[in-house]
Amino acid sequence: MPDSTVILDATAIQRALTRIAHEIAERNEHSAEVAMVGIPTGGDHLAARLAKILAGIWNHPVPAGVLDVNMHRDDLDQRAAPTIHPTEIPFDVTGKTIVLVDDVLFSGRTTRAAMDALNDFGRPKKIQLAVLIDRGHRELPIKADFVGKNVPTALDEKISLLLTESGAAQDEAILKKK
């Protein structure tokens, strides 16, 4: 059995998302321009949750979309072809402040692919990055604007985020040794 540790439980995940939402609200005074775009799998559900919390803070609906970044990855011929998830961005991104939402920030390559993919849909005024967990080991000059928790990790470790939206019994972030 590989060692595994719970690094965030359901309460901690909820608390982190609430704090990130308040930080997003504090950073962006023009709330009508802000939209969430989540990266599957994980980030799409977190984006929907953040949009809901922000709607409560701002007293107006906050749009949320899903962006699959796999067609824009830079390692496509070095791995088995990834699963393509449906992209749904039901709003015009041009002129908006887009908060990209991912579950775990690691090499930064997913974020780079996401910024490229987002450009195919229009020209956002700003792109900000929110992640639940930053585990370090960046390979690109990318930094998150909003972080739920910094978790120092070894390269051979793996973080899994289980969410009730994906059928888990409860929300949980787990760190495993491979």
Partner 1 sequence: MSWHRKHLLDIESLTADEIVTVLDTARGFKAVGERAIKKVPALRGKTVVNLFVEPSTRTRISFELAEQRLSADVINFSAEASSLKKGETLKDTAKNLEALNADFIVMRHSASGAPHFLSRVLGAHVINAGDGAHEHPTQALLDAFTIREHKEKFAGLNVTILGDILYSRVARSNIWALTKLGARVTLCGPSTLVPKTFEQMGCRVTYDVEEAIREADIIHLLRIQHERQRKTMFPSIGEYTQLYGLNKARLAKTKPDALIMHPGPINRGVEIDSEIADCKRSLILEQVTNGLAIRMAVLFLLNGGKGPQEAAGN
Interface ranges with partner 1 (CB under 8 A): 68, 70-73, 75-87, 103-104, 106-107, 109-110, 116-117, 120-122, 135, 137, 155, 158-159
Beta carbon nearer to partner 1, 21 or 144: 144
Nearest approach, Cβ of 23 to partner 1 (angstroms)?
A: 23
DSSP state of 110: H
Peptide bond into 111 cis (omega under 30): no
Instruction: Report how far residue 142's alpha carbon sits from residue 128's, in angstroms, rounded to the nearest whole number.
Output: 11
Closest CA relative to residue 86, chosen from 41, 131, 53? 41
Decide: 92 and 122 in contact? Cβ < 8 Å.
Answer: yes
Beta carbon nearer to partner 1, 19 or 109: 109
Nearest approach, Cβ of 121 to partner 1 (angstroms)?
A: 7
**Following CA atoms 21, 24, 26, 27 in sequence, which dihedral angle do they give, to the nearest 10 degrees?**
170
Indicate the SS3 state at residue 118.
helix
Nearest approach, Cβ of 52 to partner 1 (angstroms)?
A: 25
Beta carbon nearer to partner 1, 32 or 76: 76
Q: Which residues pair with 166 in a beta bridge?
A: none
Nearest approach, Cβ of 28 to partner 1 (angstroms)?
A: 26
Beta carbon nearer to partner 1, 25 or 174: 174
Beta carbon nearer to partner 1, 59 or 78: 78
Q: How far is CA 15 from the centre of its chain?
A: 16
Nearest approach, Cβ of 157 to partner 1 (angstroms)?
A: 8
